[in-house]
A and B are shown apart, each in its own frame.
Chain A
Amino acid sequence: MAVQPPEARLWWNEPVARGELVWVAVAFLWGVVMFVMMIWWHLEGRQNLSTEVYRIDPEVFRSRVEAFVEQHKVGEEGTTGIPIARVPPGGDAYMLGRLWEWWPVLELEKGKTYRLHLSSLDWQHGFSLQPVNMNIQVHPGIEHVLTITPTEAGVFSVVCNEFCGVGHHQMTGRIRVVEPGKGG
């Protein structure tokens, strides 16, 4: 029994049954397949996390985002007073997370590729783009530059999915994706 010492003193010399060996081999090979899959996706897949990352003082990041908004503001989101920044196709887009909002609202064109700069001004936040369901962790003091290409037009929400205190569930943001040339 498993609660008694192995009966054979030299248990490591006992032969292993064939069925068991086959399963070990299958499980090992499946592990190799799964390992290679991740590497292959880096080469051929189109959804990989960028590793372009900079250390940045939160105050510096804030002033950059404010300058970006000043330059590209095209209006405000409804009655909220939150600015909408229309990003030139192929350009740099900035979004900051802070207690408790994602700021500003971005307007992107479908099918164009953008460099999205993300960082937090205070605690950790979670950038969760819905309903696409892409989720990226955001840290204070680290600027993460992602290259993204929206593939559909519409209104997308950014939900914070890293717990950030009692207003966590109010922390949302928005990305508007418009058809090419139909910015608003």
Chain B
Amino acid sequence: MATAAAGLGGLEALAARFRTCPVTGLKVDAAAETLIKVNAVAAVVFLAIGGLLGLLVALTRWQGVHLLGPDAFYLVLTAHGINVLLLWIIFFEVAVLYFASAVILNSRLAAPQMAWVAFVLMVSGALTVNWAVLQGDSSVMFTSYVPMQASPLFYLGLILFAVGALIACFVFFGTLVVAKEEKTYEGSIPLVTFGALTAAIIAVFTIASGAIILIPTLLWSLGYIRHIDSVLYKLVWWGMGHSSQQINVSAHVAVWYLIGALVLGAKPISEKVSRLAFFFYILFLQIASAHHMLVEPGLSAEWKVFNTSYAMYLAVLGSMIHGMTVPGAIEAAQRKRGFTNGIFEWLRKAPWDNPAFAGMFLSLVLFGFLGGISGVVLGAEQLNIMMHNTLYVPGHFHATVVAGTTLAFMAVTYLVLPLIFRREVMFPTLAKWQPYLFGIGAGGISLFMMGAGTLGVSRRHWDITFSDAALGFDYPGAAFLMLGLNGLFAILATVGGALYVVITVASVLFGERVGPEGPKTPISAAPAAVTAEAVGKYGSAGTLHLPGTYVLITVFFVAFVLYYFVNWKYLSELWPMG
């Protein structure tokens, strides 16, 4: 400490004020706590806006309702993508980064002033891009493919937001350095922090890709650059667009481990394997740009096969590993807590009425079965011919980003409220139902959009009856049914999402303050004594007999293999082409 006290860092260390968390015993830096709060609040605001816009989209695509006109539809669809896929998720991720560094490592946050600069930049960028879209001349969709052009403010807003996010990543890296220097923890960083580090490293790559393509595009929209190559734009843009989804995966897997740890005292069954799985993400996820270019002219088949498979599916291997180690850690912890009967007592008697746990487990299952399998099928080079730009694509990524990431972030909010905001969760009965409503809604949206996509329905399309088109076409009746069901499940998801916003906002503003003895509703599903015992020994206390997890992953694997080959069968029935 004597050496660290020299210079600016030392002054900040003196200024940092800590409190001790009554539940976890962690030291919480006041500056970190405030920054976690403001970023989480901004996230929830943009979720509320973007989520409602999503409902309008679903109600328009439900042909029987067909709510919006074409101009409004394309505007709302653009705004929906930006507000939820970008703003909600990245604001929340910044909160996760600060939590996983300063709070979990017992450290002060490095350079809180820079974290505030980051926040202000992100908010200004968010407002600018939304303003540009609302003007009506930037309905270019989230992807803004050239040569279609948005107003300069659209690109400027995205750049401001990205710069802010980049600064936030460096505050996170700085905090890791500070914690190491000031020896706030022993040994290696915890797994959750490791996962957050993975997310932050991928974020730097992602934002660099964004800068490389968005800055020239801004200059092009201002008239300083004459031409931007449309294939090159996509290649680099998706270096941002797809990699940013890998930030989400890393962040929400870290959140799964976090919730398992806090609620059940779960430990990773093997630190080595879980960390290796995260490391695969860093090495291979970035090349996923190819997933969006499989039916693009001008790229070789070799390039497509290597890149779309993340170099022989090594990043998929990472996710399949987490798909076993997360439920495995939970099973081990539950068995340690005494739920040892049969194969599934640990799962049956899991704390399903705890919204943090329920949301986390639903997120795990929906992400794996719906999002994971569909993503790999969609990313197989030739299978993509049957799916590219159909509703199958949004079906897939609503399973990953909504049922996966968003639901995981909602779940962890039920821990953040008492631990960071120090407020009791209001409306506990509604909170119990919230993850189920949202999870089932999001799962339905994903499934029925994938169904419509399998029937050929185009994404980002206002009118599948083609009533104004010179040459008409009729999609099969089942496609209309799928879009109707999609609308119904979107309503369900909206109810779940609205409950989340209401519960969160009400708890933050009016919730009963958590006293020094900790929250009334216990965070942990087990009595404290047992929790302490459960974390006693490395490897979840030697209970590595995990029959339930083996059954679950076997079911998953069989579903995966069958669905994969069924799609090749469908492909073989298409018109031959080469």
B residues near A23, Cβ cutoff 8 Å: 320-321, 324, 553
A48-92 CB contacts (< 8 Å) to partner B: 48-51, 53, 77, 80, 82
Is A141 on the interface with B (CB-CB < 8 A)?
yes
The 3 closest A-B pairs by CB, nearest first: A31-B313, A161-B458, A157-B473
Number of A-B residue pairs having CB atoms within 8 Å of each other in the complex:
304
B476 — which chain A residues lie within 8 A by C-beta? Answer: 131
B295's partner among A123, A135, A157, A159 (CB-CB below 8 A) is A135
- A: which residues have CB within 8 A of B? 1-9, 11-12, 14, 16-17, 19-20, 23-24, 26-28, 30-32, 34-35, 37-39, 41-42, 45-51, 53, 77, 80, 82, 101, 105, 113, 122-124, 126, 128-144, 146-151, 157, 159-166, 168-174
Give the residues in chain A near B189, CB-CB below 8 Å: 5
Is the beta-carbon distance between B473 and A135 smaller than 8 angstroms? no
Residue of B nearest to A127 (CB): B295
Contacts of B468 in A (CB 8 A): 169-170
Q: Which residues of A contact B572 (CB under 8 A)?
A: 45-47
State whether A140 and B147 are in contact (beta carbons under 8 Å apart), knowing that A1-B265, A3-B192, A24-B321 are contacts in the complex: yes
Give B324's nearest chain A residue, CB to CB. A23
Count class of interface residues, chain B: 35 or more
Is B470 interfacial (CB-CB < 8 Å)? yes
Known: A2-B266, A142-B298. Is A132-B325 also a contact (CB below 8 A)?
no
The smallest C-beta distance from B350 to any residue of chain A, in angstroms, reads: 17
Q: Mark B167-195, 1 if CB is under 8 A from A, else 0.
A: 00000000000000000011111111000
Q: Which residues of A contact B384 (CB under 8 A)?
A: 135
Q: Which residues of B lie under 8 Å from residue A146 when comparing CB positions?
A: 577-578
Q: What are 16 A-B interface contacts by the 8 Å CB criterion?
A: A6-B188, A17-B544, A20-B269, A31-B316, A37-B568, A80-B470, A105-B471, A130-B475, A139-B297, A146-B578, A148-B575, A149-B576, A160-B458, A161-B389, A168-B462, A172-B469
Contact partner, B557, options A4, A26, A47, Cβ 8 Å: A26
Answer whether A14 and B257 are a contact pair too, CB < 8 Å, given A19-B546, A31-B312.
Answer: no
Verify B317–A31 contact, CB threshold 8 A.
yes
* Inter-chain contact A39/B300, CB cutoff 8 Å: no
Contact of A1 among B267, B298, B389 (CB under 8 A): B267
A48 B301 Cβ-Cβ under 8 A = yes
- Extra contacts, 11 of them, besides A3-B104, A35-B313 (Cβ < 8 A), are A2-B261, A11-B188, A27-B321, A34-B376, A37-B380, A46-B576, A47-B574, A51-B301, A131-B475, A139-B298, A165-B74
**Inter-subunit contact B389/A35 (CB<8 Å):** no
Interface hits, B417-470 → A, CB 8 Å: 454-456, 458-464, 466, 468-470
**A166 near B230: Cβ-Cβ < 8 Å:** no
Q: Mark B540-578, 1 if CB is under 8 A from A, else 0.
A: 000010100110010001001100100010011011111
Are B191 and A2 touching (Cβ within 8 A)? yes
A14 near B298 with CB under 8 A, answer: no
The chain A residue with its CB closest to the CB of B189 is: A5
Within 8 A of A (CB), among B70-99: 70-71, 74
CA distance A129 to B553 in the complex (A): 37
With a CB–CB cut-off of 8 A, which chain A residues contact B74?
A: 163, 165-166, 168
Residues of A with C-beta under 8 A to B313 = 30-32, 34-35
Q: A137 to chain B: which residues have CB within 8 Å? A: 293, 295-297, 388-389
Instruction: Please report which residues of chain B, range 471-485, place their CB below 8 angstroms from some CB of chain A when the two chains form the complex.
Output: 471-473, 475-476
Q: Is there a chain A Cβ closer than 8 Å to B510's Cβ?
A: no
Which residues of B lie under 8 Å from residue A122 when comparing CB positions? 147
CB of A169 within 8 A of CB of B461, answer yes
**Which residues of B come within 8 Å of A, CB atoms?**
24, 70-71, 74, 104, 139-141, 145, 147-148, 185-192, 230-231, 257-258, 260-262, 265-273, 293-301, 305, 308-309, 312-314, 316-317, 320-321, 324-325, 328-329, 376, 380-382, 384-390, 454-456, 458-464, 466, 468-473, 475-476, 535, 537-539, 544, 546, 549-550, 553, 557, 560-561, 564, 568, 571-572, 574-578
Q: Assess A47 versus B456: contact at CB under 8 Å? Given A11-B271, A169-B469.
A: no
**A2 near B258: Cβ-Cβ < 8 Å:** yes
Q: Bound complex: CA of A153 vs CA of B308, how far in Å? A: 34
Q: Which of A27, A105, A123, A128 has the largest count of B CB atoms less than 10 A from its CB?
A: A27
Q: How far is the CB of A117 from chain B (nearest CB, A)?
A: 11
Q: How far is the CB of B61 from chain A (nearest CB, A)?
A: 11
**Residue contact B309 to A14, C-beta cutoff 8 Å:** no
Say whether, besides A2-B258, A35-B313, A14 and B270 are in contact (CB < 8 Å): yes
Let me know if B145 and A4 touch, CB within 8 A.
no
Identify the closest chain A residue to B544 (Cβ).
A17
Please state if A49 and B382 are interface contacts (CB–CB under 8 Å). Answer: yes
Let me know if A151 and B321 touch, CB within 8 A.
no
Q: Are A6 and B271 in contact (CB under 8 A)?
A: yes
- A121 and B461 CA atoms in complex are apart in Å by 21
Q: Say how far B218's CB is from chain A's closest CB, in angstroms.
A: 19
Q: Are B470 and A1 in contact, with the CB atoms below 8 A?
A: no
- When distances are taken between beta carbons in the complex, the residues of chain A under 8 Å from B469 are 169-172
> With a CB–CB cut-off of 8 A, which chain A residues contact B544?
17, 19
Report the Cα distance A58→B471, complex, angstroms.
24
Report the separation of the CA atoms of residues A41 and B104 in the bound assembly, to the nearest whole angstrom.
48
B185: chain A residues at CB < 8 Å are 5
Q: Which chain B residues lie closer than 8 Å to A162 at the CB level?
A: 145, 389, 460
- Complex Cα–Cα for A52 and B191 (A): 48
A24 to B274, CA, bound (A): 11
| A168 and B139 form a contact (CB under 8 A) | no
Q: Residue on A with the closest CB to B294?
A: A49
Q: Which of A42, A77, A169 has the most CB of B within 10 A?
A: A169
Set of chain A residues within 8 Å of B300, measured between Cβ atoms: 51
Q: How far is the CB of A179 from chain B (nearest CB, A)?
A: 16
